[in-house]
């Protein structure tokens, strides 16, 4: 792959890890990020410093994916787009659905338009397991119906997949939508439960548990997600080189193992060697009962082989948190 890769959301949790991977492979990367205030932008600045420390070909553009004029000024050398920028998070999307739709749907459409104007044929889109809503059937497979999202965030991700499909069909673009299942590991977003609970267990505050703790998540370690995104980008090159009409795929990236909320809280206690104190709350609207990925399509198409046990990934997360994350979160 010779061209430049446009990576949106490069300063974020997953984006910064993926930027590091691309640079370590010798790619030219343009990172586009707004450094929005969804969480402390200083954390994103620290993420970018780590990318720059690698010393590769990384250009950062501070800007908005919804800014069509800025997109038009991007270098001609871009031949692939990995689109990770978004307003993430289920609960805040209920408070501000207009913003979520604007960034996640209109922003994605702007990038698809850029691809159309430039003849960019490779597009990777970050979707989410939340599109499955309260899917009864487990594990969740890409052929299951996903017409019943239960939060604005989930609806924007499904909408993103749909507009990607239309663009792939009309523009002859090879496009792959990756449904990430709750990603964790070093530099995890501070709004996500594991990191919130880490802070609380270290400060001795009670851990808020919504519901009876039987809800379950397929937690995916960041390195496995990064492997999956890298393979997805390689897939767009592989199918593109065979010519013809644009290919479109939707693929789950999870660990294919579920962990209950109660077990997650227990493991947080174990890795920090503390006893968690749980404070009970009613279930939250928008939260799904469980997520559980069928990863057979990822295995077949991308040679995806997630191999991080939750307990091992959490030990790596805890080492990082004690070294860096705790300071960022004001835990002295």
Q: Active-site residues: which are they?
A: 153
- Is 20 a binding residue for ligand NAD by CB under 6 A? The answer is no
**CB contact at 8 A, 72 and 78:** no
Residue 134: which residues within 8 A CB-CB, separation 6 or more? Answer: 148, 150, 288, 289
Judged by beta carbon, residue 34 or residue 239, the one nearer ligand NAD is 34
Between the two ends of the chain, the Cα-to-Cα distance in Å is 44
Among 23, 29, 38, 135, binds ligand NAD (CB under 6 A): 38
* 44 part of the interface to ligand NAD, by CB under 6 A: yes
Residue 210 binds ligand NAD (CB under 6 A): no
Contact between 253 and ligand NAD by CB under 6 A: the answer reads no
Bin 82: left if φ > 0, else alpha if -120 < ψ < 50, else beta: beta
Q: Out of 4, 5, 6, 15, point to the residue binding ligand NAD (CB under 6 A).
A: 15
Give 14 or 173: the residue with its C-beta nearer to ligand NAD. 14
d(CA 253, CA 239): 20
Minimum gap (Å) between residue 277 Cβ and ligand NAD: 25
Region of 10-18, 110-118, 167-175, 308-316 interacting with ligand NAD (CB under 6 A): 10-18
Q: Does 310 bind ligand NAD (CB under 6 A)?
A: no
* Contact by Cβ (8 Å): 151, 90: yes
Contact between 306 and ligand NAD (CB under 6 A)? no
Where do we find the tokens 């960019």? 120
Q: What is residue 10's three-state secondary structure?
A: coil
Among 21, 50, 66, 299, binds ligand NAD (CB under 6 A): 66
Helix 13-24 vs helix 222-241: crossing angle, to nearest 10: 60
Question: Cβ distance 161 to 250 under 8 Å?
Answer: yes
Contact residue for ligand NAD among 58, 100, 140, 180 (CB under 6 A): 180
State the Cα angle at 289 between 283 and 294, rounded to 5°: 160
The residue among 11 and 202 lying less far from ligand NAD, judged by its C-beta, is 11
Q: Which is nearer to ligand NAD, 192 or 241 (CB)?
A: 192
Q: Within a 13 Å sphere around the CA of 10, how many CA atoms are in the beta-carbon half?
A: 29
Q: CB 209 → ligand NAD: shortest distance, Å?
A: 19
Rule CB under 6 A: which residues touch ligand NAD?
Answer: 8-9, 11-15, 32-36, 38, 44, 64-66, 84-88, 103, 107, 126, 128, 180, 182-183, 189
């Amino acid at each position: 792959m010779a061209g430049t890769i446009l990576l949106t959301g490069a300063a974020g949790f997953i984006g910064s890890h993926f930027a590091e991977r691309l640079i370590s492979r010798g790619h030219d990367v343009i990172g586009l990020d707004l450094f929005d205030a969804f969480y402390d932008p200083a954390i994103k600045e620290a993420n970018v410093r780590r990318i720059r420390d690698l010393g590769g070909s990384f250009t950062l553009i501070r800007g908005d994916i919804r800014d069509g004029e800025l997109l038009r000024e991007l270098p001609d050398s871009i031949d692939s787009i990995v689109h990770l920028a978004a307003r993430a998070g289920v609960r805040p999307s209920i408070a501000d659905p207009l913003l979520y739709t604007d960034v996640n749907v209109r922003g994605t459409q702007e990038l698809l338009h850029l691809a159309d104007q430039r003849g960019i044929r490779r597009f990777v889109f970050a979707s989410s397991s939340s599109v499955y809503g309260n899917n009864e059937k487990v594990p969740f497979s890409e052929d299951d119906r996903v017409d019943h999202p239960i939060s604005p965030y989930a609806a924007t991700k499904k909408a993103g997949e749909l507009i990607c499909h239309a663009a792939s069909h009309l523009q002859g673009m090879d496009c792959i939508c990756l449904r990430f299942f709750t990603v964790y590991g070093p530099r995890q977003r501070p709004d996500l439960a594991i990191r919130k609970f880490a802070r609380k267990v270290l400060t001795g505050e009670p851990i808020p548990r919504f519901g009876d703790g039987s809800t379950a998540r397929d937690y995916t370690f960041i390195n496995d997600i990064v492997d999956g995104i890298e393979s997805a980008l390689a897939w767009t090159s592989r199918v593109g080189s065979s010519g013809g009409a644009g290919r479109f795929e939707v693929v789950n990236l999870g660990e294919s193992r579920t962990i209950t909320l109660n077990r997650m809280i227990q493991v947080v206690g174990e890795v920090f060697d503390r006893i968690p104190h749980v404070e009970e709350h009613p279930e939250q609207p928008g939260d799904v009962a469980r997520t559980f990925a069928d990863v057979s399509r990822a295995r077949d198409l991308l040679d995806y082989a997630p191999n991080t046990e939750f307990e091992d990934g959490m030990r790596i997360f805890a080492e990082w948190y004690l070294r860096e994350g705790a300071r960022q979160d004001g835990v002295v």
